[in-house]
Amino acid sequence: MSSYHTPVLLHESVSALAVKEQGIYIDATMGGGGHTREILSRMGKSGRLLAFDQDESALRNAPEDSRLTVVHSNFRFIGNFMRLHGISFADGIIADLGVSSHQFDTMERGFSFRFDSELDMRMNRNAAVKASDVINEYPRERLEWILINLGEVENGKRAASLICSAREKGRIMSTADLNRVLSPVIPGQGEHKYLARIYQALRIEVNGEMRALEGFLNSIPDILRSQGRVAVITYHSLEDRMVKNFFRSGNIYGERVKNLYGVEIVPFKLITKKPVTPAEAEIASNTRARSAKLRVAEKI
């Protein structure tokens, strides 16, 4: 296990890929390298693995292995880099959509309300927009939409109003500033859960996570070999719904599509009818695994 990040549902997700010794695999979110190492341990000498991560700090976790190619990029561009490296199809793809423990626990990254730090939240440190830009510059209506739709914050409209009123007196630049501004609407019970939703909404917006996930999912039919498998671990209802819909219908909206003969087009076979969740023992040793859900599908 890496101190950078403890991989969630490690054996369940990699076992679901049914790794072939000579297969070609994609780790779309390398992070601490736990899933990467597990896949490599199951591959033969002629196997090949591409591992992606947009956070430069994660690249240091890549193991030294001639079968491994590491790419510093968002996973929405996987198809482009596969072509660049001369790969037409993958036998399996895995993606762990969670924020790494390193990102949460590094104070200056601004991902956590637990620390007094700059409101940053960029996974790619070269990206232009920080969380402070969203807080201080977005129109009130857009802030409301982000909090309500990306964070599922029940009083998102009131929270956005407090933010807009406070920023008129001075820019909100730190996590402590934001927490203080929101204090009138933070419930007495469930403070951490409430702030977690606020910070989730801002992080998703800063990193374009929903757009990136949509791009990644839409690329899968073109890059996954027939009978190849894709395993995705999600951590909140928004991304889990997208993955569930895509695996069942081939699009993120869950719309059933039929061919000219009225036959429903089903691009995947569900390997997991219901999502796989961590066992109590895993949750006890890694509380951040609590909300994880694993879904697995096989391309028809």
Residue 281, pLDDT score: 97
**Residue 149: what residue type?**
N
Least confident of 99-103, 154-158, 184-188: 99-103
What does the pLDDT look like over 231-283, one tens digit per residue? 999 999 999 999 999 999 999 999 999 999 999 999 999 999 999 999 999 99
Average pLDDT over residues 49-65: 95
Residue 204, pLDDT score: 98
What does the pLDDT look like over 173-190, one tens digit per residue? 999 999 999 999 999 889
Phi-psi region of 190 (alpha: psi -120 to 50; beta: other; left: phi over 0): left
The total number of residues written for the chain in this structure: 300
Enumerate domains of the chain plus CATH numbers: 10-101+209-299 (3.40.50.150), 107-207 (1.10.150.170)
> Reading across the β-sheet that carries 24-27, which strands appear in turn?
68-71, 48-52, 24-27, 90-96, 224-234, 293-299, 268-270
Mean pLDDT, rounded, of the chain: 96
pTM of the prediction? Answer: 0.94
Average pLDDT over residues 281-295: 96
Beta-strand ranges (E) seen in the chain are: 24-27, 48-52, 68-71, 90-96, 224-234, 268-270, 293-299
Please answer whether residues 92 and 26 qualify as being in contact, where contact means their C-beta atoms are separated by less than 8 angstroms: yes
Residue 2, pLDDT score: 58
Residue 102, pLDDT score: 85
Average pLDDT over residues 198-213: 98
Residue with token string 């403070």 = 191
Residue 4 pLDDT level (bands cut at 50, 70, 90): confident
Phi-psi region of 139 (alpha: psi -120 to 50; beta: other; left: phi over 0): beta
Q: Give the Cα separation of 178 and 111 in Å (integer).
A: 12
Nearest to 211 by CA among 145, 270, 150, 156: 150
Nearest to 29 by CA among 64, 46, 4: 4
Q: Which two tokens stand for residue 98?
A: 């969670």
Q: Give the Cα separation of 213 and 22 in Å (integer).
A: 28
**What values do phi and psi take at 54, rounded to 5?**
-85, -15
Residue 105, pLDDT score: 87
Q: Is the pLDDT of residue 101 over 90?
A: no
Q: Give the Cα separation of 73 and 296 in Å (integer).
A: 23
Q: Is the pLDDT of residue 1 over 60?
A: no
